[in-house]
Amino acid sequence: MFSIDRPSTECGTEERRSTQRYSVALELRYRAIRGQDSVETGTGISINLSAGGILFRTQSDLRIGEVIEISLPWPAWRPEGIPAIDLYILGQTLRTEGNCVAVRIWKHFYRPAPPTDTGEILTRR
């Protein structure tokens, strides 16, 4: 669901950014990377998104400074009700607060979503 209201204060989300945040609650998958190795994969729920960052909730403990790839289904749907595109994000974890993780977005792109959920986290470009 999209909203242009000011985000809630959950996860200590006092306003820290100069760009507008959008409250977006979408399931996501991520992969934390060190060197050439995936060190952790997991799932979460986005809380808000801006041009420069994403805040999400996960049950995993991620470390500050880790490189992270995130995939979330963008709300554009095929006629059969399957997501048409995925938003892929590459960034770095900036802070964690409880089970919330803030990520600075380095780059992002959209890709056609797989026709069915293959369980694949991400593939490197």
Would you say residue 29 lies in a domain?
yes
Q: What mean pLDDT is reported for the chain?
A: 82
At 10, give phi and psi (nearest 5°): -60, 150
The model's pLDDT over 15-44, given as tens digits with 9 standing for 90+, comes to 555 678 899 999 999 999 987 777 889 999
Q: What is the pTM of this model?
A: 0.76
- Per the domain annotation, does 64 fall within a domain? yes
Residue 87 counted as domain residue: yes
- Sequence-distant (6+) residues with CB within 8 A of 112 are 84, 85, 86
Number of domains in the chain: 1
DSSP 24-82: E--EEEEEEEETTEEEEEEEEEEEEE-SSEEEEE-SS---TT-EEEEEEEEEEE-TTS-
Which CATH number goes with the domain that contains 56? Answer: 2.30.110.10
Domain range spanning residue 72?
23-112
4 in a structural domain: no
- Under a CB-based contact definition with an 8 Å cutoff, are residues 57 and 99 in contact? yes
